[in-house]
Amino acid sequence: MWDSIQSVFQPTTSPPQLYRNLAVALIGSFVLLALLHRFLGPRGRRWLIAFVTFVGGLYLGLEYFLPVRTAVLWPTAIPNPNPDRGANLLTPGIEPVGIMMSVIGAFTVGLGIYSLCQVHGRSLGQRRPGWHNSLAFFLAMVAMLVFGFWAHYLPKVDEASAVMPVPRAIYEMLFSGLFMPLQAATFSLLAFYIASAAYRAFRIRTAEAGLMMAAAFIVMIGQVPVGAWVTSGLPTTGALAFFRLEALGEWIMTWLNAPAQRGIVFGVAIGGLAMSLRIWLSLERGTFFSEQG
């Protein structure tokens, strides 16, 4: 029985068998989804999602916390397929589960593209304000898809001695000559928002704001040669060396800023754990469950 279960998840090198498995998987998936949609009401679909979420989280958690052995899969006498690494009964399924998660992630990307096409298609069809942005979205998506696939499936040639084919040249122009500069320009706009936020944060209205302004001034000045020049008259050793701007800036970053950042990261980790538990137990219902009541 164990060998039969493992054979289902074994990779195949035969193209006909691969295509046959893909066809069976797709047809079976569509049939299963159609049956579930037909015979399960909103409440049934809600409980099915909650059950699958709970089982998936329970499987990964149990595999991590259960004891392991090297010769056999704990707690059975089944030989360990990878004796160099400890494993339990659930370990061989980790790789197939990871592949399934990757497939589900790919489907979510497809759903995102479908949602974008719906929104921009509706905006383009109704000629809403800014419809030309939706037109640019469709043109860019189609151009990148066509020339991206075209360039990918061209026969491989020696790039150093051959002239770049037209599809690959167009793709490089779209990606390296258009997309990358636009991405860099978009991220460069963040600098202006950071400067605006810093201006609002450093306005001295309270004692706490004044303390933060003083610490920021010391750290910034201590990072540039001007700061070292201002306090260059102080000795580099002894008690007075602490008051050199570069030393003060390093002390603030090491003894004040680092513990604060660790506390923030620790709080984020606790929040992530709490959110994971809520999702695992289906307490974080989200959009779907809120619509189902």
Give CA–CA dist 53/45, Å, rounded: 12
Do the beta carbons of residue 252 and residue 219 sit within 8 Å? yes
Contact 94, 68 (CB under 8 A): no
CB 13 within 8 A of CB 19: no
pLDDT digits (tens, 9 = 90+) for 50-107: 898 899 889 988 999 999 888 888 888 888 888 888 899 888 888 888 888 888 888 8
Cis previous bond, 75, omega within 30: yes
In tens, the pLDDT along 109-160 reads 888 999 999 999 999 998 888 899 999 999 999 999 998 888 888 776 666 6
pLDDT tens, residue by residue, 82-93: 888 889 988 888
CB 282 within 8 A of CB 54: yes
Total number of residues shown for the chain? 293
Instruction: Give the Cα separation of 63 and 123 in Å (integer).
Output: 48
The whole-model pTM stands at: 0.65
> What tokens appear for 109 in the block?
């990307």
Tens-place pLDDT, residues 202-218: 777 888 888 888 888 88
At a CB cut-off of 8 Å and minimum separation 6, what does 164 contact? 172
Of 51, 106, 57, the closest CA to residue 280 belongs to: 57
Does the pLDDT at position 192 exceed 80?
yes
Local confidence band at 227 (pLDDT 50, 70, 90 cut-offs): confident
Cα 183 to Cα 188: distance, rounded to the nearest angstrom? 9
Q: State the DSSP H helix or E strand holding residue 177, giving kind and residue range, or none if neither.
A: none
